[in-house]
């Protein structure tokens, strides 16, 4: 392969295709490159119908990272792969299986792996209490990065180098919808990222990418660095509706405890409190980057623009939507 060659994938396998980032990536590819052969994956049979309803023209498959026959069948014949892991995931087994099936398939030219770490984070920066949990967010992306980099796979890492803005319509939504309050402890400075920007950057890299990017980490952010309290002020200013900030640690802990325990077990709530605290101590690492503009040739979505995009939803939740 010559320096300056461009890798183009004519067929792309998308994991998590019915969800948050995967679905936006599929929409973008269908819009800008409708000739691409898409194969859309979900890991449970019950997801297939939803996926087929969302994208009736595309091939849909059931494939699990931890079930090699289904994984191999999905990867077979594909050139590009979009790979995202949910929070708390056995990344060693994931990469081992990916390596085996990609070798067996022999067609894969490029993999995009989504990460979620502060830019420049390394294992040395993590305290023992967080290192004990190898497959939890502080460690899992560092583990996956290392394992992929040790393999010969042609992978580029797209790092969500901040928090998703739409955490406020997902995990942080209950207090925002019900009490017009952002109830998140640890008022740290953070970069904010639009999940659509993440999806479109990932799509464009699969459509066309220089091999020099392989094994590199592309840190993606929007244009804003804001603390949670400043996000509350931005909601208030943009929508003209008072949104307050509540950073009380005990109330936050009580709010996340049942949800996180149900998702990941008894140890999860305390782990996440330690993780959020660690992020706060290292919040100087979050910085704005220019990759969205460089790759998409447009400005990244600002937090104000994201709020305006979600104005109707928020006003509806607050019972303030004016209908004509
Ligand atoms: N929240 C934040 O602010 C933030 C910030 C930075 C980074 N992150 C990172 O972003 C990632 C989560 O992003 P998200 O919320 O967009 O993810 P998500 O919607 O939970 O996507 C993960 C996808 O993985 C698929 N999946 C789950 N188990 C699977 C398996 N065994 N085999 C194959 N596919 C499987 C799921 O799709 P199916 O069920 O259809 O298979 C799901 O759509 C995490 O890695 C997190 O650490 C989050």
Q: Which residues of the chain have pLDDT under 50?
A: 1-3
Cα 79 to the center of its chain, rounded Å = 22
pLDDT at 50: 97
pLDDT at 2: 46
CA of 20 to the centre of ligand 1 (A): 8
- H/E run at residue 22: helix 20-32
Q: What residues contact 17, with CB distance under 8 A and at least 6 apart?
A: 23, 25, 26, 40, 41, 42, 51, 55, 60
pLDDT at 230: 98
Ligand 1: which of 47, 61, 84 to mutate, most ligand atoms within 8 Å of CB? 84
Pocket of ligand 1 from Cβ distances under 6 Å? 15-16, 18-22, 42-44, 47, 64-66, 84-87, 114, 116, 137, 160, 163-164, 167
pLDDT at 166: 97
Q: State both tokens at 203.
A: 């799509």
Q: What residues contact 179, with CB distance under 8 A and at least 6 apart?
A: none
pLDDT at 1: 42
C-beta of residue 188 within 8 angstroms of C-beta of residue 280: yes
Q: What residues contact 127, with CB distance under 8 A and at least 6 apart?
A: 274, 278
What domains can be seen in the chain, in order of their start residue? Answer: 11-163+194-222+287-300 (3.40.50.720)
C-beta of residue 184 within 8 angstroms of C-beta of residue 247: yes
* Residue 75 neighbours by CB distance under 10 Å: 25
Question: For the segment 177-215, what is each residue's pLDDT rounded down to a tens digit?
Answer: 999 999 999 999 999 999 999 999 999 999 999 999 999
Ligand 1: which of 15, 17, 49, 161 to mutate, most ligand atoms within 8 Å of CB? 15
DSSP annotation string for 133-160: -TTSHHHHHHHHHHHHHHS---EEEEEE
pLDDT at 323: 73
What phi-psi label fits residue 288: left (phi over 0), alpha (psi between -120 and 50 degrees) or beta?
Answer: beta
| Atom 21 of ligand 1, nearest CA residue | 86
Nearest to 12 by CA among 199, 214, 219: 199
Nearest to 72 by CA among 86, 84, 59, 62: 62
Distance CA 298, CA 213 (A): 20
| Atom 27 of ligand 1, nearest CA residue | 86
């Amino acid at each position: 392969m010559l320096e300056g060659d461009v890798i183009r994938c004519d067929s792309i396998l998308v994991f998590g295709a019915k969800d948050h980032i995967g679905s936006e990536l599929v929409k973008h590819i269908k819009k800008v490159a409708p000739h691409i052969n898409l194969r859309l994956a979900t890991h449970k049979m019950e997801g297939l119908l939803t996926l087929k309803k969302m994208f009736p023209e595309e091939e849909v498959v059931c494939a699990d990272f931890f079930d090699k026959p289904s994984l191999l069948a999905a990867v077979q014949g594909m050139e590009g792969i979009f790979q995202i892991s949910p929070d708390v995931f056995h990344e060693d087994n994931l990469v081992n299986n990916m390596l085996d099936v990609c070798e067996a398939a022999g067609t894969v030219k490029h993999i995009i792996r989504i990460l979620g770490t502060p830019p420049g984070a390394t294992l040395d920066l993590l305290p023992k209490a967080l290192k004990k949990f190898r497959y939890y967010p502080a460690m899992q992306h560092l583990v996956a990065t290392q394992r992929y980099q040790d393999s010969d796979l042609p992978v580029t890492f797209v790092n969500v180098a901040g928090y998703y803005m739409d955490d406020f319509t997902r995990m942080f939504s209950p207090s925002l919808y019900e009490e017009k309050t952002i109830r998140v402890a640890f008022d740290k400075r953070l970069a904010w990222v639009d999940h659509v920007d993440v999806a479109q950057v990932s799509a464009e890299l699969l459509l066309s990418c220089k091999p020099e990017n392989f094994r590199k980490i592309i840190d993606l952010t929007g244009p804003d660095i804001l603390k949670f309290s400043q996000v509350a002020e931005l909601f208030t200013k943009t929508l003209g509706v008072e949104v307050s900030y509540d950073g009380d640690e005990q109330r936050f802990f009580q709010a996340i405890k049942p949800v996180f325990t149900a998702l990941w077990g008894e140890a999860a709530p305390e782990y996440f409190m330690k993780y959020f605290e660690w992020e706060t101590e290292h919040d100087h690492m979050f910085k704005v980057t220019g990759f969205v503009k460089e790759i998409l040739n447009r400005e990244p979505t600002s937090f104000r623009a994201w709020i305006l995009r979600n104005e109707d939803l928020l006003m509806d939740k607050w019972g303030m939507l004016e209908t004509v």
